[in-house]
Amino acid sequence: MEPAPAPGPAVARPHTGGVSPAVQQTALPAPPLRDFGGGPFGIYVHVPFCATRCGYCDFNTYTAGELGSSASPESWLDALRGEMSTAAAAFDALPSRQPPVSTVFVGGGTPSLLGGDGLADVLEAVRANFTLAADAEVTTESNPESTSPAFFERLRAAGYTRISLGMQSAATHVLRILDRTHTPGRPVAAAREAREAGFDHVNLDLIYGTPGESDADLDASLDAVLAAGVDHVSAYSLIVEDGTAMARKVRRGELPAPDEDVLASRYERIDARLSAAGLRWYEVSNWAASDSGRCRHNLGYWDGGDWLGAGPGAHSHVGGVRWWNVKHPGRYAERIAAAATLPADGWEELTDAERYTERIMLAVRLRSGLPVADLDADGRAAIDGLVAEGLVALRDRVIVLTDRGRLLADGVVRTLLS
């Protein structure tokens, strides 16, 4: 996974807003837009389809059986075109007009289920409505089992610049616990095929701490990742999400919950192996071989940039206003067919206090760190204690997590905000 585990990064709980019927009935876009913030502008496209549902995943995604006739990739693509055209018109009406799009990220769900031609159509829909910067980063997530050399060649020809593959593990029994359907060797083979098709930027997603995973299993996964020669790795601890099949198994005692100490030692192992191979952390869960290998789209989220999130359940953020789309693909398509409004289910304008909290939460996790000047008096008062505990270091008046601090990043954030 790229670090935005939902369509768009985690956002503060809505405290206000909601789309009034009056707004929906007009041709005006809902929610009320604010001007662009002047930073990078990204587009996230959410593809809500998966061949099967992995037992640990609570993303907004559906199998064909779950959707029945309520939605299909075709109706989704039509609706996506409609949403983008409405959004582009709304952005054009803003005083600053829309800036060029610096990054596009097609995520899911399983974008590779659309095939190379389907993903080319998605990028075409973006281009038909927005101006892509000449050096735009264009990423798609892909499941290893639905890729091939021809798929990657089609994507490269269409203008994609970056591939993110959901590898998770190289151990068969771990993949089985996760309900992943690819064979252990397929992600590395897919990464090679992507590079042979001309992709300089390829990411592999790992999950660590799955019940039944041993240190040796993790080492085998890291061996495979390093053999693949990718320039980016994301590694996430397994989260047992409420409401998932995995959570039910844990509750019934059929699976043990991930152990915090094991998770910490696995993280250290991952960081040591990746660092030794020249992949440096730039966000707590992300490593890159060079600055140009970092995911610019996700950096845009973490740096508080603007983005349009298109597709069912996607979140957007423009000029301090956030909105989130209706989640179900069928309702999403109906909303777009019924009115030329954004398919928002709700919106909020962040207060200064919420913006402050979010800024601290995101910046602390970055290697570039958090300038002391961005902290309020309480936050500054907490720094000495965090330094004494060995959780952060101060470099040129910037707070940066130490190795130990990376294991306890959430606690550092809580201390700075308390």
Binding site for ligand SF4 (CB under 6 A): 50, 53-54, 57, 59, 61, 108-110, 143, 166
- The residue (of 238 and 333) whose beta carbon lies closer to ligand SAM is 238
Sheet holding 321-325, edge to edge: 280-283, 286-288, 232-237, 201-208, 162-168, 132-142, 101-108, 41-47, 306-310, 315-318, 321-325, 344-349
Nearest approach in angstroms of CB 105 to ligand SF4 is 14
By a kind-dependent CB cut-off of 5 to 8 A, residue 53 interacts, out of ligand SF4, ligand SAM, none, with: ligand SF4
- Which residue type, as a one-letter code, is found at position 135? D
By a kind-dependent CB cut-off of 5 to 8 A, residue 238 interacts, out of ligand SAM, ligand SF4, none, with: ligand SAM
Distance (Å, whole) CA 168 – CA 113: 18
Distance (Å, whole) CA 1 – CA 297: 13
Q: Which range binds ligand SAM by CB under 6 A, 73-81, 104-112, 293-301, 381-389?
A: 104-112
**Nearest in space to 343 (alpha carbons), one of 316, 375, 374, 376:** 316
By a kind-dependent CB cut-off of 5 to 8 A, residue 168 interacts, out of ligand SAM, ligand SF4, none, with: ligand SAM
Tell whether residue 179 is a contact of ligand SAM (CB under 6 A).
no
Pull the structure tokens for residue 361.
Answer: 């939460």
Distance (Å, whole) CA 3 – CA 285: 7
By a kind-dependent CB cut-off of 5 to 8 A, residue 236 interacts, out of ligand SAM, ligand SF4, none, with: ligand SAM
Nearest approach in angstroms of CB 53 to ligand SF4 is 5
- The residue (of 57 and 401) whose beta carbon lies closer to ligand SAM is 57
Pull the structure tokens for residue 312.
Answer: 């069912």
- Beta carbons of 23 and 81 less than 8 angstroms apart: no
Distances (CA, A) of 260 to 165, 176, 342, 406, 409: 26, 22, 42, 14, 14
Tell whether residue 143 is a contact of ligand SAM (CB under 6 A).
yes
Nearest approach in angstroms of CB 320 to ligand SAM is 27
Would you say how long the chain is, in residues? 418
- The residue (of 51 and 93) whose beta carbon lies closer to ligand SAM is 51
Interacting residues of 97 by C-beta distance below 8 A, sequence separation 6+: 91
Nearest approach in angstroms of CB 178 to ligand SAM is 7
Pull the structure tokens for residue 260.
Answer: 């915090």
- The residue (of 108 and 313) whose beta carbon lies closer to ligand SAM is 108
Pull the structure tokens for residue 215.
Answer: 């240190």
Nearest approach in angstroms of CB 207 to ligand SAM is 5
- The residue (of 98 and 112) whose beta carbon lies closer to ligand SF4 is 112
Tell whether residue 141 is a contact of ligand SAM (CB under 6 A).
yes
Site for ligand SAM in 219-248 (CB under 6 A): 236, 238-239, 241
Instruction: State residue 310 phi and psi, 5-degree precision.
Output: -110, 145
By a kind-dependent CB cut-off of 5 to 8 A, residue 239 interacts, out of ligand SF4, ligand SAM, none, with: ligand SAM
- The residue (of 129 and 237) whose beta carbon lies closer to ligand SAM is 237
**H/E stretch holding 296:** helix 296-302
By a kind-dependent CB cut-off of 5 to 8 A, residue 207 interacts, out of ligand SF4, ligand SAM, none, with: ligand SAM
Distance (Å, whole) CA 35 – CA 211: 47
Residue listed under structure tokens 């700075």: 416
- The residue (of 50 and 71) whose beta carbon lies closer to ligand SF4 is 50
Tell whether residue 57 is a contact of ligand SAM (CB under 6 A).
yes
Tell whether residue 323 is a contact of ligand SAM (CB under 6 A).
no
- Pairing verdict, β 132-142 and 101-108: parallel
Q: Quick check: helix, strand or coil at residue 364?
A: helix
- Write out the residues near ligand SAM by the rule CB under 6 A: 1, 5, 56-57, 59, 107-108, 110, 141, 143, 166, 168, 205, 207, 236, 238-239, 241
